[in-house]
């Protein structure tokens, strides 16, 4: 999750006791607080009747340390998707959804270039949505841009008839321009919130196109 040069990695994967119940909106909710060397991570998981899972992280740290800070890892199950029609899509500043087929040799957007540069490339996700799936099924991930504006990273590893396709989001990376920690106000902690659901590919693209059309003067043109 968070990794700095010559330091142990920090994560929210420690065993903990979650508080489980129903929130004020009638959603099943699990809340946990994970202590770390930097300060606590508060994690909330909510599931609503429409099938959306919402995950929220609150980092009560006094600063974001130098290095990488990546959250929200979404991994596709190979048994549930067709390797011959895998793809991912998002917006990169324009009105159109940019769709990329996932084929051929492996790649990793989040692979380090050198000891100074922690990431090769990233997706802008400027409309707060990333889709990943195949011709039939799509995982839709929506980012609450009021909490944070992370970049998205995709990695693809084919191997001996199996494969790994994973999406995550980054709140901090490093390059030669980075100068130490990024201070945070304890009263205004770093947060990130995602909503995730599975949909039929045609329905997901149709819904997203309609939303873009309703909010902009010209329609986004999506081809699959």
Domains of the chain (ranges, CATH numbers): 2-215 (2.70.98)
Q: What was the pLDDT predicted at 196?
A: 97
| Per-residue CA distances from 107 to 91, 100, 160, 164 (Å) | 20, 13, 16, 11
* Least confident interval from 57-66, 94-103, 173-182, 214-223: 214-223
Residues 6+ apart with CB under 8 A from 87: 99, 100, 101, 102, 132, 133, 134, 224
Q: What was the pLDDT predicted at 37?
A: 87
124 — phi, psi (to 5°)? -65, -35
Kindly report, residue by residue over 127-143, the tens digit of the pLDDT: 999 999 999 999 999 99
Q: Is the dihedral of CA 189, 196, 166, 90 positive or negative?
A: negative
Kindly report, residue by residue over 43-69, the tens digit of the pLDDT: 999 999 888 999 999 999 998 888 889
Q: For residue 18, which of 44, 55, 39, 56 has the smallest C-alpha distance? A: 44
* Least confident interval from 15-19, 125-129, 174-178: 174-178
| Per-residue CA distances from 14 to 11, 53, 73, 106 (Å) | 7, 21, 16, 30
Q: What was the pLDDT predicted at 214?
A: 58
């Amino acid at each position: 999750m968070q990794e700095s040069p010559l330091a142990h990695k920090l994560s929210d994967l420690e065993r903990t006791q979650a508080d489980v119940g129903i929130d004020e909106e009638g959603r099943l909710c699990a809340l946990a607080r994970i202590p770390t060397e930097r300060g606590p991570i508060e994690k909330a998981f909510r599931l609503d009747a429409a099938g959306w899972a919402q995950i929220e992280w609150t980092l009560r740290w006094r600063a974001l340390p130098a290095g990488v800070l990546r959250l929200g890892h979404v991994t596709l199950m190979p048994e549930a998707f067709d390797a011959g029609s895998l793809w991912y899509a998002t917006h990169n500043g324009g009105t159109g959804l940019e769709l990329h087929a996932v084929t051929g040799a492996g790649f990793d957007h989040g692979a380090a270039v050198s000891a100074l540069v922690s990431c090769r490339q990233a997706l802008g996700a400027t409309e707060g949505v990333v889709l990943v799936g195949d011709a039939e099924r799509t995982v839709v991930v929506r980012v609450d841009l009021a909490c944070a504006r992370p970049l998205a990273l995709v990695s693809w590893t084919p191997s001996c008839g199996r494969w790994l396709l994973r999406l995550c989001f980054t709140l901090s990376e490093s390059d030669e321009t980075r100068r130490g920690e990024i201070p945070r106000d304890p009263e205004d902690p770093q947060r990130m919130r995602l909503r995730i659901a599975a949909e039929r590919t045609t329905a997901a693209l149709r819904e997203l196109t309609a939303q873009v059309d309703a909010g902009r003067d010209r329609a986004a043109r999506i081809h699959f």
